[in-house]
A and B are shown apart, each in its own frame.
Chain A
Amino acid sequence: MKRLAELRESIVIAFWFMFLTFPILVIQVNTIEKTIIWRWQNMFYVGIGSFVLSFVWRYFIGKAASGKRNTGEGTAEKKSFLLRIARDARFSRGALLFTAVVAIAFPFLSSTYQVNIMTTALMYVVLGLGLNIVVGQAGLLHLGYAAFYAVGAYTYALLYQHFGIGFWTALPLGALMAMIFGLLLGFPVLRLRGDYLAIVTLGFGEITRLVLENWSEFSSGPSGISEIPRPGFFGLELNLEEATIYLYFLMIAFVLFTIFVTNRLQNSRIGRAWLALREDEVACEAMGVNKTMAKMTAFALGSTWAGMMGVVFAAKTTFVNPASFTFLESAMILSIVVLGGMGSTLGVILASFLLILMPEYLRAFSDYRMLLFGTIMVVMMIFRPQGIITNIRRTYEYHFDRKQNGASGTPA
């Protein structure tokens, strides 16, 4: 009987979606040439698709609900398979070695194009890790991250254009500028609650982009700034291929540096303050954590990383314009963090490879990339809000022994 009811429900859902998507998916109008294209096959696909998906959906919702009931007992033992692998010292040492060999050999075994894509993916790893400080560790939803990315890129572009300053000088300056912008924005708005903060950062991101687009005397408007030099290697002239490989290794170094810093941060005093802030603001304040200070540091550090990557971005593409720093860019970095698991370093790395490389290699997919990002954000929040790899933190459990009537509790 239960099966039959489910079947009926799924049929209803299928018809509902066929009805819902009818005007947008089936009819395509061309108002200029006055033609209408009817695409009935889409209706059929939607019907079948939603019918199947409704079963999947129901199964997972049920699973999530029963999972929630089970928590509270034996959470310590229940670690995900991936995590257990990651924590296994023997395995992880081997994996690390393997990754290092592949990473070093990669540019010599594949084409410049491949190396370029990989460099982009590595840039998103760093961006994701940078945003992870703000969103994952401190729990501040930041929707204008691309603005700080833009600040870095434009710092390099403008400094080069006006003063002929090179990459290595621009790198710390770009990071510094982004940090200053982060602090400027952070100072007044960090008193705000989570969702308001999200909107203000979004507004700030849009303002930055619009100003860059409209203030032509300053930023050359929508046409952008071109012919920015690639990073130099001790004054040597590099050809395009060498420059690409050089940039790739530079990015590897950046990734390692970022992982090092974020790991150290996570276990530091400020890292623990962020964690407390993320879990409960009021309680955290009551424990004597300086809330504003903690938020500001998270914001400033996250922005610094964005600024640094901005400089690298400008050097890599040799061209910047405002169109590269839209809200979608921020959303993309955010979905990397969300998919990877907020606060988890390994998760963010995996997620950025997945999200950046997949559309590159599955060309048919690339049109549907943003659609996929949107779906990932919704689906992850519903079924696995902790991301692909859960960030487990050092916890102390207090085991209370009932038989001894509370005489001895042993912390384990």
Chain B
Amino acid sequence: MDYFVELFVGGLTRGSIYALIALGYTMVYGIIELINFAHGEIYMIGAFTALIVATVLAMSGMSGISVLVLAFLVAVLYSACHGFTVEKIAYKPLRGASRLSPLISAIGMSIFLQNYVMLAQTSDFLPFPNLLPELPFMEPYAHIMGSTEFIIVATTAVVMILLTILIKFTRIGKAMRATAQDRNMAMLVGVNVNRIISMTFIIGSSLAAVGGVLIASHIGRINFYIGFIAGIKAFTAAVLGGIGSIPGAVLGSLVLGWTESFATGYVSSDYEDVFAFALLVLILIFRPSGLLGRSTTQKV
């Protein structure tokens, strides 16, 4: 039973991180119907920025908590800026092109960013300092859930709630939903569609950066390649929940997290990534619209 609880909590933690990245995919897909391949790389850049800033600050003698806050903010800022720039360079000129073009462009961008970070930094794994503090009130429950896990799950929950409020109740959220439903119609009623798309990329990238900092602290090492696998898994999660649907992305991420956790715990730890990919293939074959997605008819 203890083992089960351990795996359950592990899955929950994983799922929370995937959710933060998957939201970016889902939001972008919802609005411009593009699989933003470079999203995983944005997450990786967030983690790298946090590492660099944290190291520089820690060496200049700053204390733990302020390093955490600053590294976090800078990482979110830089990821958001990268997301914004990527959209302007690689996707905006391709609005209205055939479906394949932006997808190939996205793959190219992903390869470019990976190698840019590899060449500018290093191809080795870098140890990532655990920035997250130990919470004293979690100590009695440490055998069930460590404080790092707790922080990850709690942060994700808070971010989700904020995002839901943003999308449901603010002006910009309304504009985003309108753009997702029908871009031309939204334009017609005065929504600045280009700005909304930029905003979507900025929000999605910020969430990815939050995920990047959290997971890097949790796992303790990063390299330029982490974005690729994480990106594919988050995409799996988004598809699992029904791409384009925000609650779906969260649900899908949790399901994926638990699947991976239980499969590696009870079956074999060698095939961790295989389970995720196999799940992806199975979903796309049997239920391409996902758990919470609606099936759409193809437009001619």
A residues contacting B by CB (< 8 A) are 16, 19-21, 23-25, 27-29, 31-32, 34, 36, 42, 61, 64, 139, 141, 143, 188-189, 192-196, 198-200, 202-204, 206-207, 210-211, 214, 281-283, 327-328, 331, 334-335, 338, 367-368, 370-371, 373-379, 381-382, 385
Q: Are B89 and A210 neighbours in the complex by a CB distance under 8 Å?
A: no
Q: Say which residue of A31, A139, A373 sits within 8 Å of B51 (CB atoms).
A: A31
Contact residues in A for B284 (Cβ distance below 8 Å) = 189, 192, 196, 199-200
Given A31-B127, A368-B119, A373-B111, are A327 and B228 also a contact pair (CB < 8 Å)? yes
Can you name 13 extra interface pairs (CB under 8 A) apart from A20-B78, A24-B52, A189-B281?
Answer: A23-B49, A29-B55, A31-B126, A31-B128, A32-B127, A36-B56, A141-B100, A189-B285, A199-B232, A203-B280, A210-B277, A282-B298, A382-B93
Instruction: Indicate if the CB atoms of B274 and A23 lie closer than 8 Å.
Output: no
Main secondary structure of the interface of B (DSSP, over half): helix
Question: What is the minimal beta-carbon distance from A69 to any residue of chain B, in angstroms?
Answer: 13
CA gap between A402 and B51 in the complex, in Å: 69
Residues of A within 8 A of B114 (CB): 370, 374
Type the 1/0 row for B37-80, where 1 means its CB is closer than 8 Å to any CB of A. Answer: 00000000100110111011001000000000000001000100
- Cβ of B192 within 8 Å of any chain A Cβ, yes or no, is no
| B113 partner residues in chain A, CB cutoff 8 A | 374
Min C-beta distance of B73 to chain A, whole Å = 13
- Chain A residues contacting B97 (CB-CB under 8 Å) are 381, 385
Q: Which of B55, B97, B108, B112 has the most CB of A within 10 A?
A: B108
- The smallest beta-carbon distance between A370 and chain B, in angstroms, is 4
A198 contact set on B, CB distance < 8 A? 35, 103
- In the complex, how many angstroms separate the beta carbon of B28 from the nearest chain A beta carbon? 12
Residues of A within 8 Å of B235, CB to CB, are 199
B270 within 8 A of A: yes
* B117, CB-defined interface residue at 8 Å: yes
**Residues B209-235 near A (CB distance < 8 A):** 228, 232, 235
List the B side residues contacting A19 at CB < 8 Å: 81
Q: How far is the CB of B271 from chain A (nearest CB, A)?
A: 6
* B109 interface contact, C-beta 8 A: yes
**B232 and A206 within 8 A (CB):** yes
State whether the Cβ of B94 lies closer than 8 Å to any Cβ in chain A.
yes
The reply on B121 being an interface residue by CB < 8 A is yes
Contacts of A29 in B (CB 8 A): 51-52, 55-56, 126
Scan B270-300; emit 1 where CB is below 8 A from any A CB, else 0.
Answer: 1101100110110011001000000000101
**Do B59 and A34 touch across chains, with their CB atoms under 8 A apart?**
yes
Report yes or no: A374 in contact with B115, Cβ–Cβ below 8 A.
yes
B101 contacts partner chain A, Cβ-Cβ < 8 Å: yes
How far, in whole Å, are A143 and B111 apart by their CA atoms in the complex?
13
State whether the Cβ of B90 lies closer than 8 Å to any Cβ in chain A.
Answer: yes
- CB nearest neighbor in A for B82: A20
| A139 adjacent to B100 (CB under 8 Å) | yes
- Complex contacts, B128 vs chain A, CB 8 Å: 31
Chain A to chain B contacts (Cβ below 8 Å), 27 pairs:
A16-B85, A20-B81, A20-B85, A23-B49, A27-B52, A29-B55, A61-B93, A189-B284, A192-B285, A194-B99, A199-B284, A200-B280, A203-B236, A206-B273, A207-B274, A210-B271, A210-B273, A282-B300, A331-B111, A367-B119, A370-B114, A375-B108, A377-B109, A378-B90, A378-B108, A378-B109, A382-B94
Determine whether the beta carbon of A374 is less than 8 Å from that of B78.
no
The 10 closest A-B pairs by CB, nearest first: A377-B108, A374-B112, A374-B111, A203-B277, A378-B108, A381-B105, A214-B270, A371-B115, A29-B55, A370-B115
Query: Which residues of B have CB within 8 Å of A203?
Result: 232, 236, 277-278, 280-281
* Interface residue tally on B, bucketed by range: 35 or more
Contact A204:B108 (CB < 8 A) given known A29-B55, A198-B103:
no
Given A370-B115, A371-B115, A377-B108, do A199 and B100 touch, yes or no (CB 8 Å)? no
- Do A211 and B274 touch (CB < 8 A)? yes
Identify B119's interface contact among A20, A371, A381, CB under 8 A.
A371
Q: Does B116 contact A (CB under 8 A)?
A: yes
> Chain A contacts of B148 at CB under 8 A?
none
A194 to B85, CA, bound (A): 26
Q: Which residue of B lies closest to A337 (CB)?
A: B104
Contact of B120 among A24, A188, A192, A195 (CB under 8 A): A24
State A177–B55 Cα separation when bound (angstroms): 51
In the bound complex, what is the Cα–Cα distance between A370 and B110 (angstroms)? 11
Q: How far is the CA of A200 from the CA of B93 in the complex (A)?
A: 27
Pick from B85, B100, B107, B117: contact of A331, CB below 8 A.
B107
Which chain A residues lie closer than 8 Å to B82 at the CB level? 20
Return the contact of B105 from the options A20, A61, A368, A378 (Cβ within 8 A): A378
**Given A214-B271, A378-B109, does the pair A141, B56 have CB atoms closer than 8 Å?**
no
Establish whether residues B101 and A385, one from each chain, have CB atoms under 8 Å apart when the complex forms: yes
The distance in angstroms between the C-alpha atoms of A374 and B118, with both chains bound, is 13
Q: Given A20-B81, A367-B119, A371-B115: A377 and B101 within 8 A (CB)?
A: no
**Alpha-carbon distance between A204 and B280 when the two chains are bound, in angstroms:** 10
Determine the residue in chain B with the shortest Cβ distance to A35: B59
Known contacts A24-B48, A25-B120, A29-B55, A378 near B112 by CB under 8 Å: yes
B17 within 8 A of A: no
A282 to B99, CA, bound (A): 14
Nearest residue (CB) in A for B97 is A385
Q: How far is the CA of A199 from the CA of B236 in the complex (A)?
A: 9
Complex Cα–Cα for A375 and B129 (A): 33
State whether B127 touches A334 (Cβ < 8 A): no
Q: Is B102 an interface residue (CB 8 A)?
A: yes
Are B55 and A36 in touch, CB under 8 angstroms? yes
Q: B107: which of A21, A377, A379, A385 is its contact (CB, 8 Å)?
A: A377
Name the residue of chain B whose CB is nearest to the CB of A32: B127
Interface flag for B256 (CB, 8 Å): no
Q: Determine whether the beta carbon of A338 is less than 8 Å from that of B104.
A: yes
Nearest-Cβ distance from residue B282 to partner chain A, whole angstroms: 9
Q: A61-B93, A189-B285, A371-B116 given as contacts; is B35 within 8 A of A195 (CB)?
A: yes
Q: Which residue from B93, B117, B270 sits with its C-beta under 8 Å from A24?
A: B117
A378 touches B115 (CB 8 A): no
Quick one: which of A16, A141, A207, A385 contacts B277, CB cutoff 8 A? A207
